[in-house]
Amino acid sequence: MSHHTVSVELENKPGALVRISQLFARRGYNIQSLAVGPTERPGISRLTLRVDCSEHTIEQIEKQMHKLVNVLRVVELLPDESVERELALITVGAPPDRRAELIALGDVFGARVADIGREALTFEIVGRPEELDAFEELVRPHGVRELARTGRIGLRRPGPRQSRAQAALT
């Protein structure tokens, strides 16, 4: 078992997304996250899927998805060769005397305060999914009231292969 991120270009037709989720359900593949939205081309959506499975299964998934009439392209996003981001909203318990501490913590992660209530505040954080995981861990002791994540989206890096310098950048 290992993590895989798959990027799918899909014609934006009725039922196109259902066909993909149906394929996963029927063949017993487990989706960790799924994010879908428009691309640079009108009428074409990009789907980013995160799955935990074996190499054999990911190969099967790609081949099976290729056969769907509305699917234009399927690529696996390899960690070294792609950029991945995710957005999370996290509402944390924050009585007035803990607020400053929490906001400072958020600053370290580049998490913005999206809303403040009397006893809680909501962070918005964008970053690599692993950074979001780390932030979530850190605020957990303060009491996470609610949390929503978009699921990762990703693109291949523009260059053919990333350099060390690029790797350091992310």
Partner 1 sequence: MTRMLGSDAILRSLEAEGVEVMFGIPGGAILPTYDAIARGTTVRHVLARHEQGAGHMAQGYARASGRVGVAIATSGPGATNLVTPIADAWMDSTPLVCITGQVYSRLIGTDAFQEIDITGITLPCVKHSWLVQDVREIPAVMKAAFHVARTGRPGPVLVDIAKDAQEAELDFHYPDEVDLPGWKPPTKVHERQVREAARAIADARQPIVYAGGGVLNGDACAELLELIESANLPSVVTLMGKSAIPDSHPLNCGMPGMHGSKFANFALNKSDLIIAVGSRFDDRVTGKVSAFAPGAKVIHFDIDAAEVGKIRSADIPVVGPLKLALTQLTSELKTMLAEKPMQTAAWHAQLDEWRGQYPYKYRKGTPGSLIKPQLVMETLRDITAGRNDVIWTTGVGQHQMWAMQYLQCDEPRSFITSGGLGTMGFGVPAAVGAKAARPDATVICVDGDGCFQMTCQELATAALERLPIVVVIVNNGWLGMVRQWQDLFYSERFAETHLTKQVPDYAQLAEALGAAGFTVDHEDDLESTLRAALEAGRTAVVDVRTDPEENCYPMIPAGAAAVDIIEMPDEEEVPS
Residues that bind partner 1 (CB under 8 A): 11, 14-15, 18-19, 22, 26, 56, 59-60, 63-64, 66-72
Which backbone phi and psi does 97 adopt, to 5 degrees? -75, -15
The whole-angstrom separation of Cα 165 and Cα 53 is: 30
| Least Å from the CB of residue 46 to partner 1 | 14
Residues 6+ apart with CB under 8 A from 19: 68, 70
Closer to partner 1 by Cβ: residue 26 or 164: 26
In the complex, least distance from residue 60 CB atom to partner 1, rounded to whole angstroms? 6
The minimum distance between CB 75 and partner 1, in angstroms, equals 14
| Closer to partner 1 by Cβ: residue 55 or 115 | 55
Instruction: Give whichever of 57 and 166 is closer to partner 1, judged by the CB atom.
Output: 57
Written as six digits, the tokens of 170 are 């992310």
Task: Report whether 37 contacts 45 (CB < 8 A).
Answer: yes
For the chain, how big is the Rg over CA atoms in Å? 19
